[in-house]
A and B are shown apart, each in its own frame.
Chain A
Amino acid sequence: MSYSDWEAVIGLEIHAQLLTESKMFSPDTTQFGGADNENTHPVSLGMPGALPVLNARAVEFSVKTGMALNCEVRKKSVFARKNYFYPDLPKGYQISQFDLPICENGYVEYVLDGELRRVHVQRAHMEEDAGKSLHQGEFTLINLNRAGVPLLEIVSGPDMKSPAEAAEYARTVRKILRYLNVCDGNLEEGSMRCDCNVSVRKKGETKLGTKVELKNINSFRFVEKAIEYEIQRQIDCLTTGEKIVQETRLYDPTKNRTFAMRSKEEAHDYRYFPDPDLLPVELEDDWLAKIRGELPELPLTRARRFQSEHGLPEYDSFVLTSEKALADYFEIVAQVSKNAKAASNWIMTELLRELNEAKLEVEKSPIGAAHLAEMIQMIDSKEISGKMAKEVFADMWKTSKAPKEIVKSKGMSQITDTSAIEKIVDDVMAANVQSVTDYRGGKVKLFGFFVGQVMKASKGQANPEMVNQILQKKLQG
């Protein structure tokens, strides 16, 4: 996408809900979907004298993420109070991190259009979520189940120039979060939220334009569309001589437009100061080393290894590493079957198609990795043909049975005994003397007819390659 002599500058703030069992500073559950205001300990309600106690898991998950985003992890970070009044903010302040966040100065790499991109990660800091307000006519209803849920806010640099780049960055961060199993990355349920800062400027200009923050974006497709719309809106404004107002705008996916938030954005003075209820978070070297040791191989590294080690094309390697479980699945099939190419093909075409249709995660696949590997081995050892394999695969999907069992119960095993096939070929030729004569007289198209007859006589079990060879030899006489 080109904007003639304009360019866009995009930065993302991603809020990742950490997959801890309890909240950031209190023992109530983070489970989604409880009755309204059910998960509300006095700490979450901001009751008098209720004090926050830091969830150690949230720190671990944040550090893990920081490491995976190539950040410097601060050995001493500090929680600060961000003060503002809002009915769904029970204490009148949010506990967040301000000048001393836990992670800083990292980067995320991804490949877009065959080119390696690197986006700077300015910081990743821990904070608690607010509750949820539901405005209904004259009333506002408040649900505080979400209040206090742990979030990691990942702030990118203003490094991206196109909507596609921004969306791919967000997808990559999500992929990493899911690899680490620290966030489920569900944009629809809001467990991952993506706020986009967008500004435009004339090409060659070094000063940043006035930025607009886009919120309420619940899919990667909408990340792209919302930014796309916003860039054009800003360019249109500027070309007609209007000024861009620094504001927060909401994206409406049904109209594919962004709207200024109804309430006037006031200049907030958050009066940040260190939270006296919490001690600084101090991390020891041994513990940091232990966490680093627990990091899994990350998607980009893994994709590159799939290319070099298993000889996969770049595209396949990216598809197969899109989810950690899928990559794990592939590696098991590849290792057990000793045929990475076939493993990749079966997963990319057959398995993913079925999974997508059934809307299943690979973890829930009715076909286990070991069974798929066994099936590939059976093809390679010529126990079954590729055609039979498709049938076996369909059966495995339905029954979750082992391929050997299916082949056996259906009497499907392939005939690979030369003399047995020769006998069938002889019988077929004897029953079709005229056709043999015609073939030998030059009607070579009849070859297919003979293959069909032999396969039919063998009930489809004869090895097709052997049938080809033997037929050719015998027909030539």
Chain B
Amino acid sequence: MNVLTSSLRQLSDAIRKKDLSSVEVTERFMGQIEKWNPKINAYITLNEKALDQAKAVDARLAKGENVGPLAGVPVAIKDMLCTKGLRTTAASKILHNFVPPYSATVVERLEGAGAINLGKTNLDEFAMGSSTETSAFGLSRNPWNIDYVPGGSSGGSAAAVAGGMAAAAIGTDTGGSIRQPAGFCSLVGVKPTYGRVSRYGIVAFASSLDQAGPMTRTVEDSALIMESICGRDPRDSTTSAEAVPAWSKQINKSLKGIKVGLPKEYFSSQLGTDTRAAVERAIEAVKRAGAETVEISLPLTEMAVPIYYLVCTSEASSNLARYDGVRFGHRADFSKKPAEDLAEFYCRTRGEGFGTEVKRRIILGTYALSSGYYDAYYKKAGQVRRLLRQQFLDAFKQCQLLMSPVTTSPAFKIGDRISDPLAMYLNDIYTTSANLVGIPGMSVPAGFSKDGLPIGVQLLASHFQEQHLFNAGSVIEETLALKELPHVLQ
């Protein structure tokens, strides 16, 4: 079996049956990283203890112990998640030297389930971006075509899995940051229902929107990882006590009686022809499995991006206040020219530590929360957000699933949009609503453009109804049966 292209499920089965050792598998991925990471730049920091972790899993297996559902499979972790003893940067200079004394709950749970942490993947600085070009550690490249972006902000995670440098990865999704790069790299990516996954130990970008989730080769792999990382965490008050189902075991590929809503606002003229064709193939697939489609209207769709950029920048302006150089992280060098006052201490430290996009968002958010503007911006955004939520709840009275493109077009060329923030923000047009409303979403590979770039289709379900995503996702996966591999794996 080809380790680098196998699913997490296949690898964990092989390791559990001792056809392969965790050490062999881990070494294989490390070899691929050594070969391709210099080109792709998927990782910021590699975990030097990965092999030790693999050895420990093998030793426990040898003793006949239960090593968990992710038994010995190497995964990559977005550098937004704190890892005890392993540098965590959020791809920002301001955290270039930060080594957390604790791990995120998600990391603890992954390790508890037997996964091996290969390292920390690249992202847009503080997850603010859609291309991984704003990273302070250099941009990542798309393994399907290295002149193209892998998407973002979880672009390093997507590139690592697509490039055979990890069996699966963890990303975070604030406005599409898992689903969009999954779509750009032909992966399955899930943004869970808000509250499913603990945010404890995950560098906060926009607290009311952030959720971590899996980025995998198969739908079943995503379900497996979700089963390990979801569930109430006493350290995060916003986690839900909702039971975590055994999604992977309950995947039902008959969609009889399932209604799939097609929001007409998501199929407007700005949608590219290749993308439209791919999404239509996916719609055909679910219909053939017995689903019925209905046209749905979500008139507030055009408000989603503006609301999103008010909410996420406001929360970010507050969440990023802690990076002040006082207790940890980057501090400007004051040895030659001491700060005149406190303001200068902050300005120099933060001025050096943050990149342009992060500064832009801090300024936008500070403005939106300022007295005199709060009512017109942040508060108004909250009101419209509630209306948007109601619109989705109403839509889910008519159907169990919504299907749409993930983005209007496939991956764009490196450098094409980085100087045009507005064009970059509009990338999020189909994905931000799920975060604002709190519902789960999935990106599933749906084919390729004429240029050979991957195209994803987005599935959305009502709160806590992830099973629908896994069911329909499996149908699309099985029906389209995509076999293409990026050239780095050929």
Contacts and interface: CB of A to CB of B under 8 A. Distances in A.
A53 B370 CA distance: 27
B24 interface: no
Interface residues of A, number: 30
Nearest to B338: A138
Given A93-B318, A142-B326, A48 B204 contact: yes
Given A48-B98, A48-B100, A90-B327, A83 B203 contact: no
Contacts of A54: 237
Contact of A48 (B90, B208, B326, B342): B90
Given A49-B201, A90-B327, A271-B318, A85 B208 contact: no
Contacts of A452: none
Which of B95, B101, B238, B318: most chain A Cβ within 10 A? B318
A180 to B, nearest CB: 26
Main secondary structure of the interface of A (DSSP, over half): loop
Given A87-B324, A92-B321, A51 B314 contact: no
A273 B322 contact: no
B317 to A, nearest CB: 8
Contacts of A81: 318
Interface in A241-293: 269, 271-273, 276-279
B366 interface: yes
Contacts of B199: 49, 51
Contacts of B324: 85, 87, 92
A91 interface: yes
A242 B318 CA distance: 40
A87 B343 CA distance: 11
Contacts of A49: 81-82, 100, 104, 199-204
B101 A42 contact: yes
B235 interface: yes
A46 interface: yes
B484 interface: no
B322 A91 contact: yes
A83 B314 CA distance: 11
A54 B238 CA distance: 11
A472 to B, nearest CB: 82
Interface string A51-81: 1111000000000000000000000000001
Contacts of A45: 327-328
Nearest to A82: B318
Given A271-B318, A277-B238, A83 B369 contact: yes
Contacts of B322: 46-48, 90-92
Interface string A208-222: 000000000000000
B111 interface: no
Given A83-B318, A85-B321, A51 B236 contact: yes
A360 interface: no
B374 interface: yes
Interface in B81-119: 81-82, 88, 90, 95, 98, 100-102, 104
A51 B342 contact: no
Interface in A427-468: none
Contacts of A86: 342
Interface string B199-243: 111111011100000000000000000000000001111100000
Contacts of A90: 322, 326-327
A87 B328 CA distance: 12
Interface in B153-205: 199-204
B366 A48 contact: no
Contacts of B235: 51, 53
Contacts, number: 104
Nearest to A275: B207
A91 B321 contact: yes
Contacts of B234: 53
A50 B321 contact: no
A271 B321 CA distance: 12
B315 interface: yes
Contacts of B320: 92
B423 to A, nearest CB: 28
B207 to A, nearest CB: 4
Contacts of A52: 237
Contacts of B204: 48-49, 277
A83 B338 CA distance: 26
Contact of A271 (B88, B104, B203, B371): B371
Contacts of A50: 102, 200-201
A243 to B, nearest CB: 24
Given A48-B204, A87-B324, A273 B236 contact: no
Interface residues of B, number: 44
Given A83-B318, A92-B321, A271 B237 contact: no
Contacts of A142: 326
B378 interface: yes
A47 B321 CA distance: 11
Nearest to A86: B342
Contacts of A42: 100-102
B315 A47 contact: no
A367 B13 CA distance: 75
Contacts of A92: 318, 320-322, 324
Contact of A93 (B98, B100, B201, B321): B321
Nearest to B325: A87
B321 A48 contact: no
Nearest to A27: B235
B358 to A, nearest CB: 14
Interface string B317-358: 110111010111000000000100010001000000000000
A273 B366 CA distance: 11
Contacts of B90: 48
Contact of A279 (B104, B237, B321): B237
A277 B237 contact: yes
A425 B220 CA distance: 110
A85 B346 contact: yes
B374 A83 contact: no
A47 B88 CA distance: 12
Interface string A88-107: 00111100000000000000
A320 B129 CA distance: 67
A56 to B, nearest CB: 12
Nearest to B371: A269
Contacts of A272: 369
A273 B318 contact: yes
Nearest to A42: B102
Nearest to A91: B322
B348 to A, nearest CB: 13
Given A48-B100, A48-B204, A279 B238 contact: yes
Contacts of B236: 51, 53, 277
A241 to B, nearest CB: 32
A269 B95 contact: no
Contacts of B314: 273
A311 to B, nearest CB: 54
A230 B485 CA distance: 79
A258 B98 CA distance: 44
A142 B324 CA distance: 14
A54 B235 CA distance: 10
Nearest to A269: B371
Contacts of A276: 206-208, 238, 315
A278 B234 CA distance: 12
Interface string B295-330: 000000000000000000011011011101011100
11 contacts: A48-B82, A48-B100, A48-B203, A48-B322, A49-B203, A50-B201, A54-B237, A85-B342, A277-B207, A277-B238, A279-B237
Interface of B: 81-82, 88, 90, 95, 98, 100-102, 104, 199-204, 206-208, 234-238, 314-315, 317-318, 320-322, 324, 326-328, 338, 342, 346, 366, 369-371, 374, 378
Given A48-B322, A92-B318, 15 more contacts: A47-B102, A48-B90, A48-B203, A50-B200, A51-B199, A51-B235, A52-B237, A53-B235, A87-B326, A90-B326, A92-B324, A138-B338, A269-B370, A271-B371, A277-B207
